[in-house]
Structure 1
Amino acid sequence: MATPRSRRVRERQRASHSMEAVLTESVALLDEAGAPALTFRALANRLGGGVASIYWYVSSKDELLDLATDHVVGAVLTDIERQPASQDPIEDLRAMATTLFDAIVQRPWLGTYFMRNTDLQTNALRLYERIGEQTRRLDLTPRQRFHAVSAIVGVVIGSAMDLAQEPPPEVRDGAVDRDEYLHRWAQTWRELDPVEFPFVHEIIDEFDGHDDADQFRAALDLTLAGLRLQAGR
């Protein structure tokens, strides 16, 4: 009769897949259906092994989520480090922020777990450092630098996750497209009392058919313009 220890040894011997394979398949499951799809059983089925073999690499789903997030952020960090530096740190911050934004739009789950645990997410911490390094090229106090990086990361993650939200049922089902859906809401806003809602009436045409990516760029521009003013450059 096999002892518990001998069973564990056999399971470990069966874990012929690598950590790279575990993370690659974890990311694939997250891309397909988000965090609920990432279970040890589903992962083991994709890797061709027993559930116990996953514990050879990670101790919990939370750890797996953090490591899968950092796996993707590593590629984002590589893209950022390949970008040529300019003479203007504000423009370099814009390029970094846009690269991270694009990655989160492609993978909405990424924003939820980004920098959740920097003990495990070493790539995320390095990315945070790279963004912070640009603020050190500006005449700012440590507090101002901290707030600047927090604001930039907040604009990126907030905008990307908003853009990546699941569309309303009628858009998702193809009954209407996004522009028609926005136009319907714009029409209801036009029926509001302009005395009670003067701002809404002023921006209705901007809302009707607006581009979410343009909104992100505008928010980033406002943030970076404020940073430039604060730094006196």
Structure 2
Amino acid sequence: MDAVLTAAVALLDEAGEPALTLRALATRLGTGVGSIYWYVSGKDDLLDRAMDHVLGGVLTAVEKQDRSGDPIDVLRVMAVTLFDAIVDRPWLGGRFMQDIGTHGNALRLYEKLGQQTLRLDLTPRQRFHAVTAIVAVVAGSAADLGQEPPQEVLDGSVGREEFLGRYAEMWRELDTEEYPFLHEIVDEFDGHDDKEQFLAALELTLAGLRRQSGT
């Protein structure tokens, strides 16, 4: 089963969900399609198990981290660990959010995040909202940043900086009275660092949590 899931994850990482078919997986493993059905009932089951397989590695990494310090600092480390695991896997981000309601590593990660909020002076509703917000920032940012770049960027004819620069130049030409915000932030947008953008969103969320808990 481990070999099946490792091969499935490799196919997903290479070309996303469309590339993962039972026939393609069987070819990768050098076996027949029928043998795959010994392990999974179909593509949806295979996707769920592949996601759980990847998140198992994230869970292991999280459990190895020192969780005795400031709970908000611990939440930050856990969130970044999860983000790094899924940012290059657009196929994983959406399914992670879907599968929190099922028993598996997604739910266990959700629980691990939630346990840190038990160390803060919060109401049950505040804990629920806090973990929901953190997961949304992580999964939402990773899914957005993990989208496939335009073809001209993929084939190397245009670099990322030049591609972003096109939008920046367009924004600079807009009317300043109608679009004052875009003019204010255009230099920040032009050539910005995606990971830094995620970390800033995470810090805003954690700062609000810290203030709410009075920590």
Structure 1 counterpart of 2:142: 160
CA–CA separation in structure 2 for the residues paired with 1:219 and 1:63: 33
Spell out the pairing of 1:131-210 with structure 2 (5 A cutoff).
131-210=113-192
Q: Is 1:47 aligned with 2:29?
A: yes
Q: Are 1:66 and 1:121, in contact at CA under 8 Å, matched by a contact in 2?
A: no
- TM-score using structure 2 length: 0.95
Structure 2: state its 5+ residue gaps.
Answer: none
CA–CA separation in structure 1 for the residues paired with 2:120 and 2:150: 43
Tell me how far 1:106 sits from its aligned partner.
2.8
CA–CA separation in structure 2 for the residues paired with 1:116 and 1:194: 41
Identify which range, 113-122 or 203-212, moves more after superposition: 113-122
Give the secondary-structure state (helix, strand or coil) at the position aligned to 1:134. Answer: helix
RMSD: 1.4
Give the secondary-structure state (helix, strand or coil) at the position aligned to 2:67. Answer: coil
1:203 to 1:118, Cα distance in 2 relative to 1, 3 A: closer
Tell me how far 1:120 sits from its aligned partner.
6.1
Tell me how far 1:62 sits from its aligned partner.
0.6
Spell out the pairing of 1:112-127 with structure 2 (5 A cutoff).
112-117=94-99, 122-127=104-109
Q: Is 1:77 aligned with 2:26?
A: no
CA–CA separation in structure 2 for the residues paired with 1:179 and 1:127: 35
Identify which range, 213-222 or 24-33, moves more after superposition: 24-33
Give the secondary-structure state (helix, strand or coil) at the position aligned to 1:166. Answer: coil
Tell me how far 1:73 sits from its aligned partner.
0.2
CA–CA separation in structure 2 for the residues paired with 1:21 and 1:137: 39
Q: Are 2:71 and 2:119, in contact at CA under 8 Å, matched by a contact in 1?
A: yes
Structure 1: state its 5+ residue gaps.
Answer: 1-18
- Percent identity for Structure 1 against Structure 2: 70
Structure 2 counterpart of 1:57: 39
Spell out the pairing of 1:215-230 with structure 2 (5 A cutoff).
215-230=197-212
Q: Are 1:70 and 1:121, in contact at CA under 8 Å, matched by a contact in 2?
A: no
CA–CA separation in structure 1 for the residues paired with 2:206 and 2:213: 10
Structure 2 counterpart of 1:22: 4
Equivalent pairs counted in the alignment come to 215
Q: Select the structure of larger CA radius of gyration.
A: 1
- TM-score using structure 1 length: 0.88
Q: Are 2:99 and 2:107, in contact at CA under 8 Å, matched by a contact in 1?
A: no
CA–CA separation in structure 1 for the residues paired with 2:102 and 2:14: 23
Structure 2 counterpart of 1:96: 78
Q: Are 1:90 and 1:228, in contact at CA under 8 Å, matched by a contact in 2?
A: yes
Tell me how far 1:167 sits from its aligned partner.
1.2
CA–CA separation in structure 2 for the residues paired with 1:91 and 1:41: 45
Letter in 1 for 2:48: D
Give the secondary-structure state (helix, strand or coil) at the position aligned to 1:147. Answer: helix
Runs of 4+ in 1 over 4 A off after TM superposition: 118-121
Give the secondary-structure state (helix, strand or coil) at the position aligned to 1:64. Answer: helix
